[in-house]
Structure 1
Amino acid sequence: MRVLIVEDEPNLQRQLRDALEGAGYAVDAASDGEDGHFLGATESYDAVVLDLGLPEIDGLTVLERWRGEGHAMPVLVLTARDRWSDKVAGLDAGADDYLAKPFQTEELVARLRALIRRAAGQASSELSAGPVRLDARSGRVTLEGEPVKMTAQEFKLLSYLMHHKGKVVSRTELIEHIYDQDFDRDSNTIEVFITRIRKKLGADLISTTRGLGYSLNDS
C-alpha cells in the first residue's frame, strides 16, 4: 500500500514517514500544498495524510481541488486541536477522517489502516483467501493456521491483492501501489515476488490473466 504525506513541518513529516514505513507502507512526501496537489493528482495512492496549514496552497484548497478533479483516495486531515472549524471544513471538503495535533503516531497508522480497509470494502483487519490469512494490523501471514515468513515486499504485494480480491490487478497498478515514486517501473520484481508467494502459499493462490494481470483465488 502506498501513502502520501503532505506536511510542511520537517520533524513531523520524518516521524510520520518512519512510522508508516515501519508499518509496511510505501511512502511519498511533500512539504507544501503545490507539490502535494501535484503528487496526489498524478500518482496513485491508497491514502493521504494532509496537513491543512500548508505553504503555497493551503490543505483545504488542495483537498477541494482533488475532489473536484475526481480523485477519490481516502484523505486523513491533520488539524490544530483548538480549530474545530477546520475539522468541519475539512470533512465538508471531502476528507474521510481527521486527527488533531498533537497525536500518537500509532493512532494515525490505525486510522489509515481503517480508511484503506473501508475503501476496499473490507470490514476486518484480517483478510483471507482460502486457507491463507493476512493480518494487516500485525503484519502476520498464516497458511492453514501456520505462520509463514514473508519479506516486506512480498507482504505488501499480497496485502494489495487481498484488499482487491476478486479483481484482476495489472502489473502497473501493483508497482504504483507498493513502491514509492522513485522505483524503477521497468523492473521485473513483481513477477519475482509473485513466484515467491506462490512457492510459500500455494501455486493456485494467485492466477495470471495473460495481458491483464493477477488475481487472488478464494478456494
Structure 2
Amino acid sequence: MRLLLVEDDVMVASGIKLGLTGAGYAVDWVGSAERALEVTRSEAFDLAVIDIGLPGMDGLELTQSLRKEGHAMPVLILTARDALQDRVQGLDMGGDDYMVKPFELPELLARLRALLRRSQAATSATLSFGPLELDTALRQASVRSPDGASQPIELGPREWTVMEYLMLQAPKPANKDKLLQALTGWDKEITPNAVEVYISRLRGKLEPHGLALRSIRGFGYRLELLNPPTAAGPAAPAPAE
C-alpha cells in the first residue's frame, strides 16, 4: 500500500515515515499542502496522513481540496488540537479519522489498517480467499487444509505487499501499475519487471495449495482458485489470458 504523508515538521515526519515503512507501507512525504495537491494530481495513493498545522494552506483546507478534486482515498488527520469542535470540523471537511498528537505508533497503524479495509470493503483484519488467510495485524499468512489445519506461508516484505493488494482486489484483477506503486515510493527505484518477479515467487508458494495468480494481458493479475492439489502433485498453473 502506498501512503502520502503531509507533515511540515521534519523530525515528526521522519519518525512517522520510519514507523510506517517498518510496517511494510510505501510512504512518500511532502511538507506542504500545495505540494500534496501537486503530487496527487499526477500519482495515485491508497491513503493520506495529513497534519492540520501546515504552513500556507492548512491540513483541513487540503483535505477539502482533495475531496473537491474527486480524490476518494481515506484521509487520516493528525493534529495537536483536541477540542471537540476541531475534531468535528476535520471530519466534516472530508477526513475519515482523526488522531491527536502525541500518539502511539501501534494505534496509528491500527487506524490505518481499519481505514484501508473500509476503503476496500473489507470488514476484518483477516483477509480470506479460499484456503488462504492474511492476518494484516500480525502480518502472518497461512493456508487451511480440508481438515481445518493451518499451515503458515513465509512471505518477504514485498511479497506480502503484493499478496495483500491482490487479496483486497479479489476476485477482481489487480492493476499491474498500481501494484508497482504499492511496492515503492519516490526514494526507491523498482522496475515493472520486479512485479513479475514477486508474482512468480508467490505462484510457487500458492499453487501447491490450489491457488493461482492468473495473468490478465495488458492489465495485471487476478487471484483464483484451482482444483485442489492431488497426490499426483501440485495443481497445474493457470494459463495467461
Q: Which TM-score bucket, shorter chain as reference?
A: over 0.9
Identical columns (%): 41
Q: Deviations over 1:169-213 (max 9, x none)?
A: 221111122211344464300011000001011174211112221
Aligned position for 2:213 = 206
Aligned position for 1:68 = 68
Q: Deviations over 1:142-183 (max 9, x none)?
A: 122111111100000000111111211221111122211344
Query: How does the TM-score come out when normalised to structure 2?
Result: 0.86
Asked if the contact 2:4/2:49 (under 8 Å) is kept, the reply is: yes
Aligned position for 2:237 = none
Paired residues for 1:25-36 under 5 Å: 25-36=25-36
Asked if the contact 2:180/2:192 (under 8 Å) is kept, the reply is: no
- Identify which of 183, 187, 193 aligns with 2:192: 187
Aligned position for 1:215 = 222
Distance (Å, rounded) in 1 between the aligned partners of 2:119 and 2:187? 25
Paired residues for 1:1-219 under 5 Å: 1-144=1-144, 145-184=150-189, 186-202=191-207, 204-218=211-225
Secondary structure class of the residue paired with 1:202: helix
Distance (Å, rounded) in 1 between the aligned partners of 2:45 and 2:76? 13
Distance (Å, rounded) in 1 between the aligned partners of 2:102 and 2:183? 29
- Read off the aligned partner of 2:54 and give its amino acid letter: L
Asked if the contact 2:184/2:190 (under 8 Å) is kept, the reply is: no
Distance (Å, rounded) in 2 between the aligned partners of 1:101 and 1:26? 22
Q: Which moved more, 1:178-187 or 1:91-100?
A: 178-187
- Read off the aligned partner of 1:62 and give its amino acid letter: L
Structure having the higher Rg: 2
Secondary structure class of the residue paired with 1:27: strand
Asked if the contact 1:41/1:66 (under 8 Å) is kept, the reply is: no
- Read off the aligned partner of 1:194 and give its amino acid letter: I
Distance (Å, rounded) in 1 between the aligned partners of 2:140 and 2:188? 25
Residue 44 of structure 1, CA deviation: 1.2
Distance (Å, rounded) in 1 between the aligned partners of 2:188 and 2:207? 28
Structure 2 unmatched ranges of 5 or more: 145-149, 227-241
Q: Deviations over 1:78-98 (max 9, x none)?
A: 122433322111111111010
Count of aligned pairs between the two proteins: 219
Structure 1 unmatched ranges of 5 or more: none
Residue 67 of structure 1, CA deviation: 0.3
Secondary structure class of the residue paired with 1:217: strand
Q: Deviations over 1:103-130 (max 9, x none)?
A: 1111111100000001100000111111
Asked if the contact 1:141/1:149 (under 8 Å) is kept, the reply is: yes
Residue 102 of structure 1, CA deviation: 1.3
